[in-house]
Each structure stands twice: as C-alpha cells, then as structure tokens.
Amino acid sequence: MMTLRHNNLVHFFLILTTGILISIPILSGNCEALEEKNPTVFPNRDHATQSVRIVRALEQYHYLEKKMDNTLSSIILDKYLKQLDPGKKLFLQSDIASINQYKFRLDDELKRGNLMPAFEIFNIYLTRTVDRMDFILESIADWETRFDFNKEESLVIDNELREWPPDETVMKSVWKKDLKNHILTMILDGKENAAITDELKKLYEARKKRFLQTNENDVFQIFMNAVTTSFDPHTQFFPPRASEDFDIHMRLSLEGIGAVLQREYEYTKVVRLIPKGPADNSHQLMPGDRIIGVGQGENGEIKDTIGQRLDEVVKLIRGPKNTIVRLKIIPAKKSSTTKTIQIRRDRVKLEDQSAKKEVIRTNRQGKEMTIGVIEIPTFYIDFEAYNRGDKDYKSTTKDVKNLLLELKEEKIDGLIMDLRDNGGGSLREANQLTGLFLKTGPTVQVRGKYQIQRQFDDDPEITYSGPMIVLINRMSASASEIFAGAIKDYQRGVIVGTRSFGKGTVQHLQPLGEGKLKLTSAKFYRVSGKSTQHRGILPDLEFPRLYKIEDTGESSLDGALPWDTIFRTFYNAYRPLEPLIEKLNGYYQERAKSNPELIYLKRRIKMGEAINAETTLSLKIDDRRTRQKTYEKMELDIENDYLTAIGSPKIEAFDPETSKIKETKQIMMEQTHQVMADMIAYSRLFRYSWQ
C-alpha cells in the first residue's frame, strides 16, 4: 500500500469553562525533507505509548462514556479520510476499497498502540499529493495552450457531492479543472498571462517544498485528532510543542488582528473575531470569511496561503503593533470572488474589554424615553486578585453593577444588555451577573458524568428591576448563553437578535505524558432543563440572520453533542411575557416592511444565500464574466434602491468603501432601541411590574 500526507496541519480550539475560542496552531518539529520519489513516514515508539494513554483517558473521563469499539473505529476512519482528502481528489475508489479493511479494526489497533494502518493510509495520501503537485507544475508551463476557456465545462464546488475517482484518468481531470479554475479566477482579477505563470509556478513549488517537510509527529497529530474528535469536536490532544503554544495563548494579550482561525480543507477560515480587536473594529472581516493570501504593509506582495499550514498563516498575520497586514479573502457570502482588505495590527488585551454604557434618549408618541445600553464583550474576572482577597478585583459583575447605578442616576426607562459577539468567559461571572436582575434562585445546571450541580444567586438584592432586553447574535456563546437563557426562563426580560452559538459543553485539561488532553466533561442546562448545546438560545424576537447557520456555531461542527433536556429545577419565574412578546413582534414586523436598512439587509442576505447555494462553477470564461456582472448589478440595484428610499441620489457603480449604508451592528442596535421603546410604552400602558 502507498501512503499519503496532509500538509494542512490540524487546528485546535480551546474552549474555556464557558467558551472563549482561542486558536492553537500545531507546529511541526524539525525534520529532514522526505524523498520526493517515494515519500514515506513511519510511527515511532513514543507515538505507540501515547496513543494507548489517549485511548484509556478518553474511555475513562469523557462525558459520553464512549468505548473504543467497531462503531467508533468506523467514525475515526471517516474523519481521518475527510481530514486528508475532503475534496475527494487524491484517493481512488480502489484505495478506499483497500483502506476499508481497517473500518472495524482501528479500535483494536489503537488499544495495542499499532499506528501502522494510519501511517499506511497517510503514505498513500503523501505520494498522491506529490503526484498532484508535479502534474500541476507540468501543466502550468503551457497553460495558455493547454486550457480552452471557451469550452462548456464546470467544476463541482460542493465537496459533499463529489465521488472518489474510479481511476487515475478521472482523478487527473479533477486536478486539471482545479488548476483551470485557479487560472480563471486570476484572469478575472485582471492579472496578465506572464504574471499568472510566474505566480503559479512559485506558489506550487513552495507548496511542494513545504509538503515534503512532513514528519512522523505531524502524521501522529492528524490521526490522533481524528480519534479525539470522534468523541466530540472539542476533545483534542495537545502534544508537547502544542502544549507550549497552549500556555502562550492562555495569556491575556497578543499582538495581531484579534481573529480566531481554523483550517477548513485547504483554506484558513475565520471562526470569530475578538470583540474590540483590530479586525472587529475594521468592519471588513467576518466569521466564515476564508483567508487565501497575506501581505505585509500597504504594498507588500500578497503571499498565497491556500494549502498552507495554520501555524504558518498565523505567523504571517501576526506582527508588531501599528503595522499593517493585508488579507486576501473569499467573503463568506461570495464563495467564488475575492477581495483584499487592510487591517492595522494592535495589541489585543482581553482584560481591557470592559463593559461600557451608553444613554439613548428618544421620543415615542410625544413621551420622552431614556434607554440605557450596556455592552459586554466578554465575561471577565481578575482571578489572581480575587484569589488573594483583593476587594478591588476587576470583574464583569462589579463593572456592570457600577454602570447600572450610574444609569439609575440618568433615570433610564429601559435597559439593553448587548451580548453580541460575546464568546463567553467566566462561569462565575455569568452566574453573578444574572443575580443583579433576580431576587434569588438557580441560574444554570451543570451535568457531569455522575451528578448535576447548580449555580445559585443567593443575594436577594436586585440592582435593576425595570424593562430589559438581552441582545444576542450567532457569535454569542457559552457564558452569554447561560445569562440569556436564565433571563429567558425567569421571564425577566425579552431576548432579541438571532440564534446564539450553541456552545453548551464544558472542557477540562488533563496532563498526559508530556502533552495535554482536553476533554469534554460536562454539559450546561438552563434552569428549565433545556440544554444550551447545539441549538443555542432562540430569540423571542428575531432579526435578519447575518451569519450562515451551516458555517458558524456549534451545529456546524462535525460530531457536536446533541441538544437534549434534563429535569427542570425549582425556580420562581416572573409574569408570563407572551402577550408582550406578541405585541413587540407585531410592531417590529410592521416597521420592517418599510424600513430601508432592514429591507437592504434582507436583500443582501438573500443574495448571499443564492451564492452559497451554488454547487457547481462554470469554467467557461464568458459564463464567469456574466455571473460576475450579474452579482455586481444585484449589488448596485440593492444599493440604489436603498439610496432612493432615504432620498439620496443613485450611484453608477457600487463601492463598499463609499457606501452610505450604516454599519450592520448599528442597524441592529437602532432596531433594538425601537423594540425597547415599544416595551417601555407597553409597560407604562399596562403598569407592568418587573419586580
């Protein structure tokens, strides 16, 4: 059997107790280059010992109590093949038939520490990838005569629709189409033929050189990632070098752009943005975008990163404060077009992401209203100061309580708690913050393997007792979902926005040899007994979805634990909010029919959905130009309809840099102001008590 290797090393997430995502790249150790004609790697003795330890720990400590059996063996093999060849471009049907001999054997081999099956599969991949690089490099030399861009031909871009090639002829035709599409994209970007040839040659020669630096530790890491994520996507093994990187990333600051990245096939995908970080503040990058090139400074060459390892891409993106990095991206809502953005690096300090307040004054039917807004980017606490008994330790709850007291001085009529893009943080703070708005009672249930523990608010004092809205979006995760879920279950306020992330599992780190194993050990449940896992928190009043559910959030992760329920715990909810929520929804839907910003957003979202629904891409240049012009016209029409609605002159060409459309988060906040004004009016009319 031949073997094959993946040059895209596996990316890991670290989910803190309640869910901040941190990117942990796995770095390759030093090694000699592989033989180009017969690249082969083999496991070492340490790998065998470590794999046995990992399997034992998974079976003993994981929340699901899975056993390494035939069922899990089949899942591991499927995950491993998908990691190596997600686009089904490298393994032949005959390879798969041979590999399937291990479908129900990997469990037994892992228990014995025998990794040869995994390395045999990898060596097939390794050899085939080198063949593909050589084929592409040979084709680049005469691409101008080799490819007919007027030919009726298409490329399948949905990996789920692809089949394993039956023979080498079909496989090479797939390679040829991939290269043709790459060249076609460069032509449409306005590159000259000579520049295309030169750039492609440098690109694939560099990829091949990097690829041949593969070593046995890389292979072990990729395979063990398939093993651990077969339990759930947040369970992973960190080898010694990755464990060092983990410790570095646990520090509360780094210089860069403030984006959490992961590998997705050959791309570097943006998972989420650190609130208030450079990327978030730029309003140019969003979750789901794929980075395909990185350049330094305003004029530096954009280096292609397709197929490059995550740690290498991270090194290119990170850099000193006040320097500029340029990213070439495929926007999440435009799967076949690219654009280049510019971000100024800065020092991202998570401890500086403090809660902030704003006061909004508005008028509804001749009556003045004052609305307080508190934005919480993350659930933070200075654990060192807290543990040493420092009364002045910094925390979310303490800061928010002070802000609420200041807002009381402003005599606010209603409060908006903005948790958009809040990825979580301290479980303690989620519990304490909830207590500022309730008398007493449980706030969350944590179910481990053997028992259920509950967090309680024991303080009867209520800091704020008026109308309240909790604003969430798809990037609101973990601790944010615990807070929003408790407010929803107690009917203490109205949840507005879009469905949240759905991160409802708890992980802990366990030393394992010289490495670490991150295990899922518990799940979060609301006081009503409903899990926050997978489904997240569903809003009472839903805004247009800006993020594609299939590409973001817990439900987009392969093998994510399911949503379920346990017994509700005893708690005293406030008066039912259904009549109020029905009224608020009615008022909002009526406004949405004529609101220019909401109409604009819905049309943009619909266009993005149409692009994402495409499963094939034409390789005929006229078709691609027509497609490009069609979407450009759609963008222009949407923009001009908006300009007409607000009484501004139309434009001749769409330019996002000069667009008069308000920033999306601003549009959503303004709509929330309107909902809160309705809520205040309702409370006044019916003398609703929130005590």
Residues belonging to the active site: 478, 489, 503
Q: How far apart, in whole angstroms, are the C-alpha atoms of residue 248 and residue 24?
A: 9
DSSP bridge partners of 341: 327
CA distances from 276 to 160, 349, 354, 402, 421 (A): 36, 9, 10, 21, 10
Q: How far apart, in whole angstroms, are the C-alpha atoms of residue 174 and residue 193?
A: 22
Whole-angstrom Cα Rg for the chain: 27
Pair type for strands 494-497 and 468-472: parallel
DSSP bridge partners of 469: 416, 494
Largest CA distance in the chain: 81
Report yes or no: 491 and 577 within 8 Å, Cβ to Cβ: yes
Tokens for 454, please give them.
């509950």
The closest alpha carbon to 126, from 236, 230, 219, belongs to 219
Please name the residue that has the structure tokens 């750039």. Answer: 199
CA distances from 126 to 8, 93, 387 (A): 12, 17, 51
Q: How far apart, in whole angstroms, are the C-alpha atoms of residue 536 and residue 542?
A: 14
Beta strands in 365-514 (DSSP E): 367-375, 414-418, 441-447, 452-457, 468-472, 494-497, 505-512
Please name the residue that has the structure tokens 């033989």. Answer: 35
**Length in residues, the chain:** 691
The closest alpha carbon to 690, from 469, 458, 370, belongs to 469
The closest alpha carbon to 378, from 357, 392, 397, belongs to 397
- Other CB atoms within a 10 A radius of the CB of residue 632 amount to 13
On the CB side of 524, CA atoms within 13 Å amount to 34
Tokens for 165, please give them.
């090639």
Query: What SS3 state is found at 24?
Result: strand
Please name the residue that has the structure tokens 């400074």. Answer: 297
The closest alpha carbon to 440, from 450, 452, 432, belongs to 432
DSSP class of 662: P
DSSP class of 158: -
The set of residues, in sequence order, having a beta carbon less than 8 Å from that of 624 and lying 6+ positions away, is: 184, 188, 617, 618
Please name the residue that has the structure tokens 């949407």. Answer: 638
Q: How far apart, in whole angstroms, are the C-alpha atoms of residue 83 and residue 89?
A: 12
Please name the residue that has the structure tokens 């390494």. Answer: 68
The closest alpha carbon to 602, from 648, 538, 542, 651, belongs to 542
